Amino acid sequence: MSRRRCGEVAEGDELPSLPVRVTRADLVRYAGASGDFNPIHWNEHAAREAGLPDIVAHGMLTMALANRLVTEWVGDPGAVIECAVRFTRPVVVPDGADGALVELSGKVAQRRDDGTVVVAITARVAGQTVLGMATATAALA
């Protein structure tokens, strides 16, 4: 994929949507990579004792998926220079091969004179927003 050029982008442009399935096996892999072995991400009993309906995805995994929407659009993972989110709802990951479907979309909220853009990101699971005020700033070619 080639790197997106600044002249090709305007405020209001929508990014291609990105649906991502998250399974419990993904949570195990993420725990190993991140070192976050909190049992709410792999043990149903612990999740329920913490007041959750079931096992939930790591918040930082959800944030990484949101940023993947932007990196795939820009064409360069190193182009994202800043990101921010508020975690508004956990991503509950049911047992089974289908897991949870995280539906990601985005829109160019601001195009700056320095060749960067700010993308407003929406992340939904089962029609409910799971990230609030999610943005990524990316440098364009």
Count of structural domains within the chain: 1
30 lies in some domain: no
Count of other CB atoms within 10 angstroms of residue 5: 11
11 lies in some domain: yes
CA–CA separation, 139 vs 74, rounded Å? 8
CATH number at residue 70: 3.10.129.10
Task: Give, in order, the Cα–Cα distances in Å from 25 to each of 41, 80, 87, 99, 114.
Answer: 10, 27, 22, 9, 41
What average pLDDT does the segment 45-66 reach?
Answer: 97
Note the pLDDT tens digit of each residue in 79-138: 999 999 999 999 999 999 999 999 999 999 999 999 999 999 999 999 999 999 999 999
35 lies in some domain: no
96 lies in some domain: yes
Domain that holds residue 64: 6-22+57-139
133 lies in some domain: yes
Chain mean pLDDT for the chain:
95
Q: How confident is the model at residue 31 (pLDDT cuts 50, 70, 90)?
A: very high
pLDDT, position 1? 58
| Nearest residue to 85 (alpha-carbon basis) of 120, 58, 41, 35 | 120
51 lies in some domain: no
129 lies in some domain: yes
